[in-house]
Amino acid sequence: MRILIVGAGDVGKRLTKILTKGGNEVVVIDRDKRACDIVAGETDALVLNREATDLNVYEEIEIDKFDIVLALTNRDEVNLFVCMVAKNYGVPRIISLVEDEKIAEFMSGLGVEKPLCKPKLVANTLSNIIEGRRGVAEIFEVEKGSFKIVAVDIGEHIVGKTLRELNIPLRAKIISVFNGEEFIDPDPDYTLKYGDMVIALVHVDDIRRLEDTLR
């Protein structure tokens, strides 16, 4: 697949690593040169140090030929702009992070497949914990449905453990950890804390195993 990721922060960087290793053609755009240099040095993606609001860059990369566009910056207005550009060029799948619920609703009306409202995601997860439901939220599918990116609220039994100590399935990869305020790019020695939510790419057949490990 041809995938455009706008935003080379923690989530964008981790996702780029996974998707390029899976054989996908990935292009990354970010205005932060340091972030771009890191992603370019650690992946095979084409990384462009450009402003996400520069329309010319989308014409240069021929955005209309991409299968998926992911807007993953930390600015709602930029993510909304990216979604509108992708929609205008007929990109079949558009996914975005967003903080403001009203903007998330607008994105849904625009045709964004998954406007991931971080506060709402956290609230829903906490509600699941309180009401005893499964604390696994499926975010979106990749690789024609064989893999999903999921968010899992961790159980008390793994608080204090490092990611290195977790026995996660072979077909699962932790992308990031959300601590309620920000996404963290976790190294293997990251120590899980109470309230952390793990974002992971996992094969559909291993979702339950991942849940059992983390919850």
Long-range own/partner contacts, residues 35-40 (CB < 8 A, 24 or more apart): 35/8, 35/9, 36/8, 38/8, 38/13, 39/8, 39/12, 39/13
> Token pair for residue 170?
């072979």
Same fold, 2-112 and 121-214: no
Q: Under a CB-based contact definition with an 8 Å cutoff, are residues 178 and 122 in contact?
A: yes
pLDDT tens per residue across span 134-171: 456 555 555 455 788 888 888 889 999 999 999 999 88
CATH class of 121-214: alpha beta
Q: Does domain 2-112 have CATH number 3.40.50.720?
A: yes
Q: Which region among 35-39, 78-82, 179-183 has the lowest average model confidence (pLDDT)? A: 179-183
Q: Under a CB-based contact definition with an 8 Å cutoff, are residues 207 and 134 in contact?
A: no
Nearest CA to 179 among 157, 195, 199? Answer: 195
Q: What residue type is assigned to position 150 of the chain?
A: V
Mean pLDDT of 48-56: 96
Mean pLDDT of 104-114: 81
Indicate whether 19 pLDDT > 60: yes
Mean pLDDT of 89-104: 88
In angstroms, the CA 74 to CA 199 distance is 17
- pLDDT category at 90 given cuts 50, 70, 90 is very high
Task: Give the three-state DSSP class for 154.
Answer: coil
Domain boundaries, the chain: 2-112, 121-214
Q: Which region among 27-36, 85-94, 124-133, 144-153 has the lowest average model confidence (pLDDT)? A: 124-133
> Token pair for residue 38?
């890191």
Q: Under a CB-based contact definition with an 8 Å cutoff, are residues 84 and 115 in contact?
A: no
Most confident of 48-52, 98-102, 123-127: 48-52
pLDDT tens per residue across span 171-198: 888 888 888 777 787 788 899 998 888 8
